Amino acid sequence: MIISPSVLSCDFGNIERDTKMLDNSEADWLHIDVMDGVFVPNISFGFPVLEAIRKNTNKILDVHLMIANPDAYLSAFKKAGADILTVHYEACPHLNRTIAAIKELGMKAGVALNPHTPISVLEEVICDLDLVLIMSVNPGFGGQKFIPSSIEKVEKLKKLILAKNASCIIEIDGGVNLENGPLLVKAGANALVAGSFVFNSINPEETIAKLKKL
């Protein structure tokens, strides 16, 4: 199980300390939420913050773009240190082209689906993807409640991957904790994002270790 703690829930006044804590933890990736106030009703951070995170960790940076027109910024995200770049299906009218461009830049390519978007929209691109990110909350904010029907979406995605003989990672993002974690693993998830559950816990490193054991 890949654990990708979301930096969005860290203390930004102590971003160096929190990034180093994640670097020393059992986390596999660091999840980086980029929001533009257009695609989602919130603004998080951009390139300078991503570069600062990059300086403090050797872990894989799993960058989740919640922005309109991501095509305009793909090479800038590569330059800032992204290893995996995930764009939203809902923000990409030419998804096939966007995925190819991400790969040409030397990054792994992911596609995220909002809670209302069915798995079936990925039928024609699933074989080209390194990762699918299923949103289990409406994107834009940390600390929201997990949408239970996301578990069924994981099962549907797993079926599609098997049917198409594809080999992409299934990642879940939003409201993930130790209660729904086992159900997500059972349904076929390979990677779990956790923000508030990690950072609001008394011992974040220990919480990451517990998630890692799922």
Contact status, residue 193 vs residue 30, Cβ threshold 8 Å = no
Binding to ligand DX5 in span 23-62, by CB under 6 A: 31, 33
Phi first, then psi, for residue 177 (nearest 5°) are -150, -170
Is residue 88 a contact point for ligand DX5 (CB under 6 A)? no
Q: Which residue among 18, 62, 130, 173 is the active-site one? A: 173
Q: For the CB of residue 173, give the shortest distance to Zn ion in the complex, in Å.
A: 4
Contact status, residue 50 vs residue 63, Cβ threshold 8 Å = yes
Binding to ligand DX5 in span 96-155, by CB under 6 A: 137, 139-144
User: What's the CA gap between 110 and 169, in Å, rounded?
Assistant: 9
Q: Which of 8, 129, 151, 208 binds ligand DX5 (CB under 6 A)?
A: 8
Active site residue 11: no
User: What's the CA gap between 38 and 195, in Å, rounded?
Assistant: 22
What are the CA-CA distances from residue 114 to residues 27, 37, 56, 103, 133 (Å)?
A: 25, 16, 31, 22, 9
User: What's the CA gap between 88 and 67, in Å, rounded?
Assistant: 8
Q: For the CB of residue 68, give the shortest distance to Zn ion in the complex, in Å.
A: 16
Tokens encoding 131: 């990762």
Active site residue 128: no
Is residue 173 a contact point for ligand DX5 (CB under 6 A)? yes
Q: Which residue among 18, 33, 36, 130 is the active-site one? A: 33
Instruction: Give the binding-site size for ligand DX5 (rule: CB under 6 A).
Output: 22
Q: Which of 195, 204, 207, 208 binds ligand DX5 (CB under 6 A)?
A: 195
Q: List residues with catalytic annotation.
A: 33, 173
Q: Under the rule (CB under 6 A), what is the footprint of ligand DX5?
A: 6, 8-9, 31, 33, 64, 137, 139-144, 173-176, 193-197
